[in-house]
Amino acid sequence: MLRMSTLFLRTLREDPADAEVPSHKLLVRAGLVRRVAPGVFTWLPLGYLVYRNVERIVREEMDAAGFQEVHFPALLPREPYEATGRWTEYGETLMRLQDRKGADYLLGPTHEEMFTLLVKGEYSSYKDLPLVIYQIQTKYRDEARPRAGILRGREFVMKDSYSFDIDDEGLQRSYDRHRDAYIKTFDRLGLDYVIVSAMSGAMGGSASEEFLAPCESGEDTFVRSDGGYAANVEAVVTVPPAEVPIEGLPAAHVEDTPDTPTIESLVDLANARFPRADRPWTAADTLKNVVLRLEHPDGTTSALVVGLPGDREVDMKRLEAQVSPAVPSPFEEADFAAYPQLVKGYIGPQVLGEDRGIPYLVDPRVVSGTAWITGANEQGKHVFDLVCGRDFTPDGTIEAAEVRDGDPAPDGSGALHSARGIEIGHIFQLGRKYAEALDLTVLDENGKSRVVTMGSYGIGVSRAVAAIAEQHHDDKGLIWPREVAPADVHIVATGKDAAVFEKAEELAIALEDEGLRVLYDDRKVSPGVKFNDSELLGVPTIVVVGKRLVDGMIEIKDRASGDREEVELTAAIPAILAACGR
RNA sequence: CGGGGCGUAGCGUAGUGGCUAGCGCGCUUGCUUUGGGAGCAAGAGAUCGUGGGUUCGAGUCCCGCCGCCCCGACCA
């Protein structure tokens, strides 16, 4: 039994000045965590109970899925990370240190190398596979900017698991097992979440999905439709309009459009001097051609032109995902000098294309038969009614335009709107990148050496505590889902009557005997303080033993709904068990 | 790393060059109080982030440094 009179706990009446997001404010105010350094926190008794519940659930679901727990050190030598290039690739984010001899060490930001090497040292046959091992481990990342309390710390706890399979089918099965286990885990944690497809990015894998807990304080932007579609912005596929028959479309014609270097000025001039019969011109009638410089991994650079409707901007993140591993950057004046055919502000598709040395990719909305106003590749001139598929043929399409609220979901499930979420889990088909770098091979049934294929899967354990707090609170405080709550029932004894404390304590003991986890407020403070603390702490069921005891009554309150009922003390135990879902 | 803001008691804060740095919460002691953060009284607790400078006099003005928070960049 947790007694408030002796519990190491101090709740705060006011929000800490350095906290911004609800979970940070509440976890500090409720006395669950205290800051030690930027992005580094101490768990106090109640907070650690919650944290351990989350960890326990994660562990139980991993074990239930048949995965085996191991435990690596957080302190790791440099060499394995040197082998995969991450000693340097990880950059400033890596926490580095030296021992007394000057040897380099690091505090593990993630453990792909160590797992790969461990398996390499033990296994050498296809008969040993598949294998999934995991750990729950403190990770260190020297984030440029830790923020939002324990939502994004420099020290945090992560469950990371790794699958090892002989072939892609096996990897897919391991991946699916993790996906199922994660669904069970997050359901038990009481988290609302969506699974979005994610770009694999620098990790070099193929399939990858993120589990995002939608909430205002989330750092990841994603889009969702009312019909259930959810995806990372980078992964959204544009729904192209129907193609238009080319016959009968007016011929292209070049017009003088002086001083129209921007889309806005161009539309204004077009409406003033070349008005349409049916409707005014809009930015969406123009074809904007954005020149970019691509830097390739081998150090060379090249130009790329992206054509998109003038009312859209290029989304650099989406573009990056498309051109990876090349890195895009804006075209500078010096770059323009190298391509005299590109007239800044008046670029048109007529001079573009792979065969002319400047690859030209367009937004999927630019389909055959669409007519555009676009640059005529001459200062002060634009071409009207330039028809795709007749007057120009792009080299292909690219998903680089911004995704906007109201755009259709690719699966036809309605309009997209953007939302924010906390990344609480990530599952990832790594492939053979690490196995190759560290030479993890096994012999197959023909005695031939085969590189193992891997998956990596993470759950932010400490982050999940904050994510739950973000999703489960009100203006009075936290509201823990039962399974992660620091206790099942919070008994509040009010008044100064000795009988109240006697009965409250008897009740606490009886409930504990029934298997409930009990937090008992036996402090000699005023009722208001106790009620407010009980709401701040967020134990799901609150039992008040107070002035109504003279009539043999106690009160049971549901923290989440605020519903309260009075019951006879004699019937209290079954009623409380029922309230706790037992 | 760029931009902005802020460092005063455990927490939240006031203090625009002048006496002994003020208030609320929390803490200690006593009395009263006990169904929504009680009242009265008496206390403890601060080298005002740090180093230098200006001044008769600096929490307050100037310069350097350190730290923290927010936005952006960055981020399996």
The fold for domain A16-236+418-470 equals BirA Bifunctional Protein; domain 2 (3.30.930)
| pLDDT tens column, A27-42 | 999 999 988 888 888 8
Across the beta sheet with A253-256, what order do the strands follow?
A253-256, A381-387, A371-378
Strand partners, A293: A303, A329
Above 80 in pLDDT, residue A106? yes
What is the pLDDT confidence band of residue A482, given thresholds at 50, 70 and 90? very high
CA of A153 to C1' of B26 (A): 28
Strand partners, A383: A254, A374
Q: Quickly tell me which residue has 């239930």 as its tokens.
A: A64
By C1' distance from the Cα of A199, the closest nucleotide is B76
% of chain A residues with pLDDT over 90: 42
Question: What residue has its CA nearest to the C1' of B35?
Answer: A527
Residues 373-392 on chain A lying near strand B, CB distance under 7 A:
none
By C1' distance from the Cα of A109, the closest nucleotide is B76
Q: Is the CB of A124 under 7 A from strand B?
A: no
Residue A580 is given by DSSP the state: T
Q: Which residue type does A213 have?
A: A
What per-residue confidence (pLDDT) applies to A270? Answer: 86
The fold for domain A487-579 equals Rossmann fold (3.40.50)
d(CA A412, CA A406): 12
Residues 205-234 on chain A lying near strand B, CB distance under 7 A:
219
Above 50 in pLDDT, residue A275? yes
ipTM of the complex: 0.86
CA of A105 to C1' of B65 (A): 30
Q: Are A33 and A44 in contact (CB under 8 A)?
A: yes
What per-residue confidence (pLDDT) applies to A199? Answer: 62
d(CA A361, CA A346): 17
Does an H or E element contain A423, and which?
A: strand A416-431
Residue A475 is given by DSSP the state: T
A326: left (phi over 0), alpha (psi -120 to 50) or beta: beta
CA of A26 to C1' of B51 (A): 38
Write the burial class of residue A266 (CB in 10 Å: 0-12 exposed, 13-18 middle, 19+ buried): buried
Residues 84-103 on chain A lying near strand B, CB distance under 7 A:
93
Residues 513-532 on chain A lying near strand B, CB distance under 7 A:
524-529, 531-532
CA of A522 to C1' of B42 (A): 28
Q: Is the CB of A178 under 7 A from strand B?
A: no
Q: Strand B: which nucleotides have any atom within 7 A of a protein Cβ?
A: 1-2, 11-13, 24-26, 33-38, 67-76
By C1' distance from the Cα of A531, the closest nucleotide is B36
What is the pLDDT confidence band of residue A549, given thresholds at 50, 70 and 90? very high
Backbone angles phi, psi at A523, to 5 degrees: -75, 155
Q: Quickly tell me which residue has 């085996």 as its tokens.
A: A68
b/e sequence A280-292, b meaning 16+ C-beta within 10 Å: ebebebbbbbbbb
Mean pLDDT for A379-397 is 88
Q: Which residue type does A310 have?
A: G
Does an H or E element contain A487, and which?
A: none
CA of A18 to C1' of B13 (A): 14
Q: Is the CB of A498 under 7 A from strand B?
A: no
Mean pLDDT for A418-426 is 89
User: Taking the domains of chain A in order of start, what are their residue ranges?
Assistant: 16-236+418-470, 253-397, 487-579
The answer, yes or no, to whether the previous bond of A130 is cis (omega within 30 of 0) is yes
Selecting from 2.60.40.10, 3.90.960.10, 3.30.565.10, 1.10.150.130, what CATH number does the domain A253-397 have?
A: 3.90.960.10
Rg of chain A, C-alpha, whole Å: 30
| pLDDT tens column, A201-248 | 434 345 888 899 988 888 888 888 888 888 888 778 888 888 888 888
Residues 256-285 on chain A lying near strand B, CB distance under 7 A:
none
Q: Is the CB of A420 under 7 A from strand B?
A: no
Q: Is the CB of A145 under 7 A from strand B?
A: yes
What per-residue confidence (pLDDT) applies to A458? Answer: 94
List Cα–Cα distances, A69 to A135, A138, A140, A341, A345, in angstroms. Answer: 5, 14, 20, 61, 59
What per-residue confidence (pLDDT) applies to A201? Answer: 40
Structure tokens at A100: 């007394």
For every residue of A130-184, DSSP letters joined together read: SEEEEEEEEEE---SS-BTGGGB-SEEEEEEEEEEESSHHHHHHHHHHHHHHHHH
What per-residue confidence (pLDDT) applies to A496? Answer: 87
Judged by DSSP in three states, A353 sits in strand
CA of A145 to C1' of B54 (A): 37
Highest mean pLDDT among A338-342, A414-418, A463-467: A463-467
Q: Is the CB of A153 under 7 A from strand B?
A: no
Q: Is the CB of A40 under 7 A from strand B?
A: no
